[in-house]
């Protein structure tokens, strides 16, 4: 693993040699919701954080709770959601918030929670995007670091496969393998290249989903206790139960991409590469992230020049920067 300043993604007609910088939010913002699995009411507060501090979670309902870094090696549970933990203190269902933070390029943030679980909001990443945009995005005075994949890394488990391969930019492809014929009428494969597709417009609104009849099993393992048609797309034998229908025709497979992006952002830095998932979920996404950490000859840390964000290959950078700070 080496660290390099990369300008190969940009055009040569550069106006500035400034590197693309880290970002945090401008001011404190909070929201209230319920945990989808616990059913518990929770207040979430997002606070600006210093450069190189990364994304960290803290439980305000536990006295003396330490901040838990949002890192793949801290993932403690992947049953129907991704949870991180430090000792006996855990934070559940981090993936949709992490996905939104990737979408807006937020590197440093302190997330306070008044209960164990991140609120589910509407089941997508869009409400977190709105929260962060209302707080404002600020650029910090240190270069943002990316993980550039230099050789393919692949993991598999029980017929599911997930991989990362070298790619000039970031794209994600996913194949959804349905467990019920009701899904046959919906797209099962999508590939999104974020150089020409907006995460906010095309992915962030994709909600969690599930079959109505799967809920009984989830309840039996004390999951989805807060689940409703307000925070998920529900399906019966006949089709979508939600009155408003789907937000995208390919909402299910897009949600799997949203989840994968959030799970992989637990690597602490955005990836430059191509993600591919076949039937994969939170467990395999975390296995892939851990494989990346282990195979440090398969990637390098790079910084990029600021003026290439609109150049070929570079993912569209969302979130208008309102001001700069140290
Ligand atoms: Zn999800």
Q: What's the 309 CA to ligand 1 centre distance in angstroms? A: 28
**Can you state the angle between helices 126-135 and 95-103, rounded to 10 degrees?**
50
pTM of the model: 0.91
As a whole number of angstroms, the distance between CA 38 and CA 114 comes to 13
Measured at the CA of 45, the angle between CA 66 and CA 56, to 5 degrees, comes to: 40
CB 225 within 8 A of CB 219: yes
Measured at the CA of 263, the angle between CA 181 and CA 95, to 5 degrees, comes to: 80
Q: What is the mean pLDDT of residues 206-235?
A: 91
pLDDT(99) > 80: yes
Q: What's the 123 CA to ligand 1 centre distance in angstroms? A: 7
Determine which helix (DSSP H) or strand (DSSP E) holds 171, and give its type and residue range: strand 170-175
Per-residue pLDDT of 290-318, as tens digits, reads 999 999 999 999 998 876 554 445 666 66
CB 225 within 8 A of CB 120: no
- What one-character-per-residue DSSP string does 292-318 give? HHH-TTSEEEEEEBGGGTTSTTSPP--
Residue 282 annotated in active site: yes
Determine which helix (DSSP H) or strand (DSSP E) holds 128, and give its type and residue range: helix 126-135
Measured at the CA of 281, the angle between CA 235 and CA 33, to 5 degrees, comes to: 65
Catalytic residue from among 37, 96, 255, 282: 282
pLDDT(223) > 90: no
In this prediction, residue 322 has a pLDDT band, given cuts at 50, 70 and 90, of: low
Q: What's the 152 CA to ligand 1 centre distance in angstroms? A: 25
Q: What's the 193 CA to ligand 1 centre distance in angstroms? A: 20
200-211 core/surface letters (b: 16 or more CB in 10 A; e: else): bebbbbbbbbbb
Per-residue pLDDT of 268-292, as tens digits, reads 999 999 999 999 999 999 999 999 9
Antiparallel, parallel or unpaired: β 146-149 and 299-304: antiparallel
Portion of the chain with pLDDT greater than 70, in percent: 88
């Amino acid at each position: 693993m080496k660290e390099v300043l990369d300008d190969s993604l940009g055009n040569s007609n550069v106006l500035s040699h400034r590197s693309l910088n880290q970002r945090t939010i401008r001011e404190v913002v909070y929201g209230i919701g319920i945990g989808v699995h616990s059913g518990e009411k929770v207040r979430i507060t997002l606070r600006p954080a210093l450069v190189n501090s990364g994304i960290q979670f803290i439980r305000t309902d536990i006295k003396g709770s330490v901040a838990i870094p949002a890192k793949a090696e801290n993932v403690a549970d992947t049953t129907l959601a991704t949870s991180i933990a430090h000792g006996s203190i855990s934070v559940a269902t981090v993936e949709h918030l992490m996905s939104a933070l990737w979408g807006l390029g937020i590197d440093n943030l302190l997330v306070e929670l008044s209960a164990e679980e991140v609120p589910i909001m509407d089941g997508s990443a869009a409400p977190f995007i709105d929260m962060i945009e209302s707080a404002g995005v600020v650029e910090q005075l240190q270069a943002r670091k990316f993980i550039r994949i230099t050789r393919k890394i692949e993991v598999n488990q029980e017929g599911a496969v997930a991989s990362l391969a070298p790619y000039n930019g970031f794209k994600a492809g996913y194949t959804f393998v349905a467990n019920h014929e009701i899904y046959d009428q919906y797209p099962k494969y999508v590939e999104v290249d974020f150089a020409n597709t907006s995460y906010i417009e095309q992915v962030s609104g994709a909600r969690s989903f599930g079959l109505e009849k799967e809920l009984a099993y989830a309840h039996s393992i004390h999951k989805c206790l807060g689940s409703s048609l307000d925070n998920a797309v529900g399906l019966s034998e006949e089709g979508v139960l939600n009155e408003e229908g789907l937000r995208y025709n390919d909402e299910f497979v897009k949600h799997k991409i949203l989840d994968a992006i959030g799970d992989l952002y637990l690597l602490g830095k955005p990836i430059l590469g191509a993600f591919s998932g076949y039937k994969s979920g939170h467990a395999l996404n975390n296995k892939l992230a851990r494989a990346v950490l282990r195979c440090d000859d398969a990637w390098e840390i790079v910084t990029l020049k600021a003026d290439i964000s609109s150049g070929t290959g570079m993912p569209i950078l969302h979130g208008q920067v309102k001001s700069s700070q140290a």
